[in-house]
């Protein structure tokens, strides 16, 4: 990170050299009242489209902050097309899943309602804010989208083809994930993927059958222990991202 730039913010506005940008209310509060940046201080901005920019505070007040962009630090990279579809879990654990999925490069987070889902209500606005904060902290140049929850059947029908579904199967009857991926063709490394994580107690028999019948499903095992949903997502994403990035 650039020296003396203590703040890194995601913004929606276009970013370009020498452009001026008035920050929104929440950003003004954070920049001016929490971090106490003043005129001449530097900060870093990104919007998921135009790369990462160094900016200087041009005007600063309690309810207003205008910055001017003066240097492109990093161009916008091409990202892996990687989703997570997971049954909602308790709030703190779900927020951890969103945070770590953001750090690991996921581009979309899709809550999926199953028959054994015990926490069907999902605060998409809160989770989106969690993803934005995680992206700001980890140095990522984009923020994953957080979709409205949908039923498992609807998700399986709507998942883009030929997007591969990586099903983290808790039954113990599937091949280890690393071995299953090694058996995939080289072209699969550049394909679109979605990681499917079940609820506490796993998918019921009818759901398991339906997932097995869906197109482009790779059923995998994550090892001998029963993992919580957020742990399974972190482990699987790490393995999958490493495999996808290998030439």
Tens digit of pLDDT at every position of the chain (247 positions): 455 788 999 999 999 999 999 999 999 999 998 999 999 999 999 999 999 999 999 998 878 899 999 999 999 999 889 999 999 999 999 999 999 999 999 999 999 999 999 888 899 999 999 999 999 999 999 999 999 999 999 999 887 666 899 999 988 889 999 999 988 888 888 889 999 999 988 999 999 999 999 888 999 999 988 899 999 999 999 999 888 887 5
Instruction: Find out whether 32 and 60 touch, Cβ atoms under 8 Å.
Output: yes
- Given this model, what pLDDT does residue 58 score? 94
- Residue 32: CA atoms inside 13 Å, Cβ hemisphere, count? 20
Model-level pTM? 0.91
What are the residue ranges of helices labelled H in the chain?
25-28, 91-103, 124-138, 152-158, 177-182, 205-213, 229-245
In whole angstroms, give the CA distance from residue 146 to residue 126: 10
- Please tell me the predicted confidence (pLDDT) of residue 207: 96
Q: CATH 2.40.240.20 region(s) of the chain?
A: 5-74
**What is the predicted pLDDT for the residue at 1?**
44
User: Hey, what CATH topology would domain 5-74 get?
Assistant: Ribosomal Protein L25; Chain P (2.40.240)
CA quadruple 83, 86, 88, 89: dihedral sign = negative
Q: pLDDT at position 3, please?
A: 52
Q: How far apart are the C-alpha atoms of 156 and 45, rounded to whole Å?
A: 36
Tokens of 128: 């989106």
Alpha carbon separation from 99 to 129, 168, 169, 245 (Å, rounded): 10, 19, 23, 21
122-128 long-range Cβ contacts below 8 angstroms, 24+ apart: 122/88, 122/94, 122/148, 122/149, 123/91, 124/148, 124/149, 126/95, 127/94, 127/95, 127/98
Task: Name the CATH superfamily, with its identifier, for domain 82-245.
Answer: SPOUT methyltransferase, trefoil knot domain (3.40.1280.10)
**8 Å CB contact between 140 and 104:** no
Angle between helices 124-138 and 91-103 (to 10 degrees): 40
Contacts of 60 (CB under 8 A, 6+ apart): 31, 32, 37, 38, 39, 66
Beta-sheet pairing, 108-113 with 145-146: parallel
CATH 3.40.1280.10 in the chain, residues? 82-245
């Amino acid at each position: 990170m650039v020296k003396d730039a203590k703040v890194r913010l995601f913004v929606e506005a276009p970013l370009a050299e020498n452009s001026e940008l008035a920050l929104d209310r929440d950003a003004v509060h954070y920049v001016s009242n929490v971090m106490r940046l003043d005129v001449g201080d530097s900060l870093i901005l990104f919007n998921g489209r135009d790369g990462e920019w160094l900016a200087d505070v041009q005007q600063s007040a309690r309810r207003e902050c205008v910055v001017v962009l003066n240097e492109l630090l990093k161009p916008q990279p091409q990202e892996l097309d990687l989703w997570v579809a997971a049954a909602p879990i308790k709030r703190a654990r779900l927020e951890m899943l969103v945070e770590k999925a953001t750090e690991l490069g996921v581009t979309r987070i899709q809550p999926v309602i199953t028959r054994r889902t015990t926490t069907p209500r999902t605060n998409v606005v809160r989770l989106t804010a969690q993803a934005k904060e995680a992206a700001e902290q980890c140095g990522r140049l984009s923020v994953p989208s957080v979709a409205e929850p949908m039923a498992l059947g609807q998700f399986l029908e709507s998942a883009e083809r030929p997007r591969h579904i990586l099903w983290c199967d808790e039954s113990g009857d599937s091949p280890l994930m690393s071995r299953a991926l090694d058996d995939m063709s080289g072209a699969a490394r550049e394909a679109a993927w979605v990681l499917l994580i079940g609820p506490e107690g796993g998918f019921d028999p009818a759901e398991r059958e339906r997932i097995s019948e869906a197109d482009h499903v790779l059923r995998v095992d994550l090892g001998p222990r029963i993992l919580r949903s957020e742990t399974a997502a972190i482990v699987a994403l790490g393995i999958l991202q490493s495999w996808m990035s290998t030439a």
